[in-house]
């Protein structure tokens, strides 16, 4: 038998080839890419790239005058991983891989494993050493291990860094990661959110894709600074007890010449058959989940963000497009699976593998599915044939809620069930209720402009809608700007219309949302039994004629419960009576008629005593003067 070649710790060896070929090399990003190493007495960069069908690969960069012949790489078998060591390459140097294809053509590709990229419109990768990033969020990371999302508050502020606020002194108007961290922390703490979810952070060439068409999966976008700046932001947010969730896009990638598409001159990362490998509607390529190396690339990438950059969760974009082979396709544009069905069996296997590994290695981290269909057991355990996600976006609730809220109050009585239906399936998955960026773009109107009526009615509708959402079972997510009733649809090209807060109506909505968020965080009844029937109880779900909903949120052991009453019409109900389960005192803790929310400020008693007398099928009740679009929350 031949002797096994000894390899230096940073080099790609037989074991690396084997594990990557099996799809189990979860830290492959520490080997592939460009890493600063010591080779004997020389310091330099060890480059490694997977290009199985390439005839030849070389590293070109500003350190070798982009000369294809200067640094030719050595091919490693059996997978076709090319490597080379180049001494004295400076930090931030630009580079690409020059790949000679099987057709004899030369193509230039950015490094799929690069940690930093040239600012667009440039497309090269940059050398950077991220091994020296220091962290001081140990307390947060330790607590995270024991954190149970089902029993903890989660109110997420979805934010796009480039347009939350524009920087007056930057050519593009971008705050860098550190500046953004300080600003967003102040705002999020004041408002009472528990997490931020950041849109499109991995490197992408086109601002208008919002980061959903990725060319650099292992690189925080250079628009807002370096990977060190990005890490500083996460660390800073953690030290201020704010969780960080990133959008993550394993569904598809763009065709840009420098990206993953036809990486070595053949479909390397994507399915070869265009009926499986292309999204006709999006003009993008679909990852080949049947290839172990591609699954490995994506799973390692998820681990990279969660383990190396301390990110608390990934919201996985466009899950439905991965699960269904015919998603967004007409007859003849897709290929059935081996059983003749439309399920992508390889993508299903990928999700089970992904979630088992990521959550198994990182207790307390989150994997969140943006899945828009009724696919069963998205948050079910892998052992029970589920996909293994922690949480799922409740797109059904979002659709019913927005359809109901758009209605003129006169017609709401005919659609009363739109607001109650979600509770019939609320415990089939672990849900997040979402009003995301997708609901306020592409001529869908901002949240305030979805509301019927004019003036007072619009703002009053939004207030009662937000109260219903915050009281309903499930975690919460709201897109930036909607918390102060942004009038215009969102655009990545401009900052939010913060000047609106000079107007009292917008200040009222912000005050209301702030108090709802703090009420949510303060009261265990609103979150600790989100995934069980014991946590939510309708008092009256059938008051369609008056379009009033009343329900109770229960804490564990019923120590402190909350009663919500929401009136979705402009009719005042001076004689409103609500049924209650006990002969107790009910304390009014939130009243939408308060002056700071734009109400009349009418004086009201704080304590209401329940009296014997059946109402809403309960043995006791009390009367409350319910104003137009009134919301009242009582503690008992």
User: How crowded is residue 43: how many other Cβ atoms within 10 Å of its Cβ?
Assistant: 12
With contact defined as beta carbons under 8 Å apart, do 523 and 562 qualify? yes
DSSP assigned state of 94: E
Closest by CA to 604, choosing from 563, 633, 561, 569, is: 633
Residues 6+ apart with CB under 8 A from 191: 157, 483, 510, 513, 514, 517
Which residue carries 């090269």 as its tokens?
A: 124
Tell me, yes or no, if 371 is annotated catalytic: no
**Main-chain dihedrals φ then ψ at residue 597, nearest 5 degrees:** -105, 10
CB within 8 Å of 61: residues ≥ 6 apart: 89, 93, 94, 95, 96, 124
Burial class of residue 376 in the structure, from the number of CB atoms within 10 Å of its CB (0-12 exposed, 13-18 middle, 19+ buried): exposed
Nearest Cα neighbor of 473 from 394, 539, 433, 530 is: 530
What's the CA gap between 439 and 465, in Å, rounded?
15
Q: What token pair was written down for 252?
A: 């598809």
Q: Is 370 a catalytic residue?
A: yes
Active-site residue identified among 270, 370, 400, 439:
370
Contacts of 26 (CB under 8 A, 6+ apart): 296, 299, 300, 303, 357, 361
Nearest residue to 390 (alpha-carbon basis) of 565, 530, 192: 530
Q: 472: burial class by Cβ within 10 Å (0-12, 13-18, 19+)?
A: buried
Q: What is the DSSP letter of 121?
A: T
Is the separation of the CB atoms in 67 and 60 below 8 Å? yes
Q: Which candidate in 158, 312, 317, 483 is catalytic? A: 317
Place of tokens 């008092």: 539
374 SS3 class: coil
Q: Which helix (H) or strand (E) holds 435?
A: strand 431-435
The two three-digit tokens of residue 480, written as one number: 């930036």
Cα end-to-end distance, the chain, whole Å: 78
The catalytic residue positions are 317, 370
């Amino acid at each position: 038998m031949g002797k096994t070649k000894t390899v230096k710790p940073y080099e790609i060896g037989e074991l690396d080839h084997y594990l990557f070929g099996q799809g189990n090399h979860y830290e492959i990003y520490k080997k592939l890419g460009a890493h600063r190493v010591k080779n004997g007495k020389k310091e330099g960069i060890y480059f490694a790239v997977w290009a199985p069908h390439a005839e030849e690969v070389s590293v070109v960069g500003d350190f070798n005058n982009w000369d294809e012949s200067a640094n030719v790489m050595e091919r490693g078998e059996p997978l076709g991983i090319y490597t080379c060591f180049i001494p004295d390459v400076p930090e931030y140097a630009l580079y690409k891989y020059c790949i000679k294809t099987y057709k004899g053509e030369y193509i230039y590709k950015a490094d799929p494993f690069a940690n930093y990229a040239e600012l667009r419109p440039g497309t090269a990768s940059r050398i950077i050493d991220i091994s020296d990033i220091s962290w001081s969020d140990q307390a947060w990371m330790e607590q995270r291990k024991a954190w149970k999302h089902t029993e903890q508050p989660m109110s997420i502020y979805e934010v796009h860094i480039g347009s939350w606020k524009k920087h007056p002194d930057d050519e593009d108007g971008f705050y860098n990661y550190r500046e953004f961290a300080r600003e967003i922390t102040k705002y999020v703490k004041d408002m009472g959110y528990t997490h931020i979810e950041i849109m499109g952070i991995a490197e992408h060439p086109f601002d208008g894709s919002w980061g959903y068409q990725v060319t650099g999966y292992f690189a925080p976008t250079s628009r807002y600074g370096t990977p060190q700046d990005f890490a500083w932001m996460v660390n800073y947010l953690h030290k201020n007890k704010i969780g960080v969730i990133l959008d993550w896009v394993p569904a598809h990638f763009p065709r840009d010449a420098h990206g993953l598409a036809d990486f070595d001159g053949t479909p390397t990362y994507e399915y070869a058959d265009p009926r499986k490998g292309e999204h006709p509607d999006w003009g993008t390529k679909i990852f080949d989940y049947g290839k172990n190396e591609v699954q490995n690339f994506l799973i390692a990438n998820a681990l990279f963000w969660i383990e190396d950059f301390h990110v608390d969760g990934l919201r996985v974009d466009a899950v439905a497009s991965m699960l269904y082979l015919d998603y967004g396709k007409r007859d003849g544009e897709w290929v059935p699976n081996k059983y003749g069905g439309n399920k992508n069996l390889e993508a299903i296997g990928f999700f089970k593998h992904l979630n088992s590994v990521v959550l198994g290695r990182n207790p307390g981290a989150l994997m969140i599915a943006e899945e828009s269909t009724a696919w069963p057991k998205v948050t079910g355990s892998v052992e029970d044939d589920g996909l293994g996600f922690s949480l799922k976006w409740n797109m059904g609730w979002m659709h019913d809620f927005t359809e109901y809220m758009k209605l003129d109050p006169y017609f709401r009585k005919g659609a009363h069930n739109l607001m109650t239906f979600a509770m019939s399936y609320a415990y089939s998955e672990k849900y997040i209720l979402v009003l995301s960026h997708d609901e306020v773009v592409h001529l869908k109107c901002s949240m305030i402009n979805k509301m019927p009526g004019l003036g007072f009615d619009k703002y009053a509708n939004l207030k009662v809608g937000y109260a219903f959402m915050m009281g309903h079972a499930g975690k919460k997510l709201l897109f930036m700007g909607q918390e102060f009733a942004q009038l215009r649809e969102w655009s990545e090209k401009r900052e939010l219309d913060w000047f609106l807060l000079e107007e009292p109506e917008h200040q009222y909505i912000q005050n209301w949302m702030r108090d709802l968020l703090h009420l949510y965080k303060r009261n265990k009844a609103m979150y600790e039994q989100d995934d069980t029937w014991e946590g939510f109880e309708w008092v009256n779900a059938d008051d369609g004629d008056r379009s009033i909903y009343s329900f109770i949120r229960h804490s564990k052991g019923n120590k402190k419960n909350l009663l919500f009453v929401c009136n979705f019409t402009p009719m005042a109900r001076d004689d409103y009576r609500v049924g209650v389960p006990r002969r107790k005192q009910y304390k009014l803790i939130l009243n939408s008629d308060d002056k700071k929310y734009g109400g009349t400020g009418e004086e009201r008693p704080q304590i209401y005593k329940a009296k014997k007398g059946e109402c809403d099928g309960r043995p006791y009740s009390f009367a409350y003067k319910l104003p137009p679009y009134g919301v009242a929350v009582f503690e008992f």
